[in-house]
Amino acid sequence: METILKCESLCKTFGKKQILKNVSLEVKEGDILGFIGPNGAGKTTTIKLILGLQSITSGKVSINGYDIERNFTNAIKKVGAIVENPDMYMYLSGYQNLKLVANLYKNIGTERIDEVVKLVKLEKRINDKVSKYSLGMRQRLGIAQAILHKPNLLILDEPTNGLDPEGIKEMRELLVNLAEKEKMAILISSHNLAELDNFCTKVCIIKNGEVIETSEISKIKHEASNEVEIFEVDNADKAETILSMDLRNNKILGLEVKDSKILKVNISKEEVPYIISKLVENNIKIFEVKQEEKTLEEAFFEKTGGNIIE
């Protein structure tokens, strides 16, 4: 897959304070990269450097092969972005807002506007005044404005802020659709890690202005997970009693009853057959055995050692 966005050793200094230290990341076509980090880690500053909204102290940003500083016009040509809240005229209709944005570009006619309206699922309300829109509808209109000129890179800073569960679900479906069907590269900064967990393909973790990890989301969660197996049984309390002797003999490292049916056992994978046979010998019915996988939020806290997300 083609690399759309590439940041190489980005540094940003304000006075004597260094905000970013050698930040490198890349987003390929069809990727949804979750850009996450504790409060003040440098996410928004990085986005502003990518978009040419702030000067780069050192390092390089390339978009579609063009340097953002040396060839800004060509670099930014196929970029759509929402930083903070999307700008729109509340007293105009959604369609009128899109028409105003379309006038800023060449060759965007009513056909493209209609296509984008359909993509963001605003067909039924596009002629209503924006002041009557819900926050979720305004966010979708903002994305419609950002993709009107057919960009292949979409950058979003906190797009689910203030959205209700339905609005978040709609946003998630829209972004997945843009990545899969439009082959768009998407960089999304968000504090809503539970949501990013559901639809991002990769994640980049930044802390104190430095990237500490970039990887596929499944790999990061797997690496953060301990060797804990979850056993679904007919009697978890009885199973715990049976295995407690092995706990005392250090054959297993830990036991935890989650409820009457779920038992968590801290063991190596090689010990799973032994535990199964032990439970079966004692007439415990086993319905399922699976390895515990941490959520993105748990993996994030483990890797950053932090407890505050911007």
| Least confident interval from 59-73, 119-133, 292-306 | 292-306
Six token digits for residue 179:
């990545």
The answer to whether 203 and 214 are in contact (CB under 8 A) is yes
Computed over every residue of the chain, the mean pLDDT equals 85
Q: What is the CATH number of domain 3-223?
A: 3.40.50.300
Residue 113 confidence (pLDDT): 95
Residue 227 confidence (pLDDT): 65
Residue 181 confidence (pLDDT): 84
Tens of pLDDT, residue by residue over 177-225, are 889 888 899 999 877 677 777 788 898 988 889 998 887 876 766 665 5
Residue 1 confidence (pLDDT): 77
Separation between Cα atoms, residue 56 and residue 202, nearest integer Å: 25
| Domain layout of the chain by residue ranges | 3-223, 226-291
Reported pTM = 0.77
Tens of pLDDT, residue by residue over 108-149, are 999 999 999 998 889 999 999 999 998 888 988 999 999 999
Which residue pairs, CB below 8 angstroms and at least 24 apart, start in 64-67? 64/4, 64/152, 64/153
- The mean per-residue pLDDT over the stretch 159-176 comes to 81
Q: Which CATH superfamily is domain 226-291 in?
A: ACT-like. Chain A, domain 2 (3.30.70.1150)
The answer to whether 11 and 21 are in contact (CB under 8 A) is yes
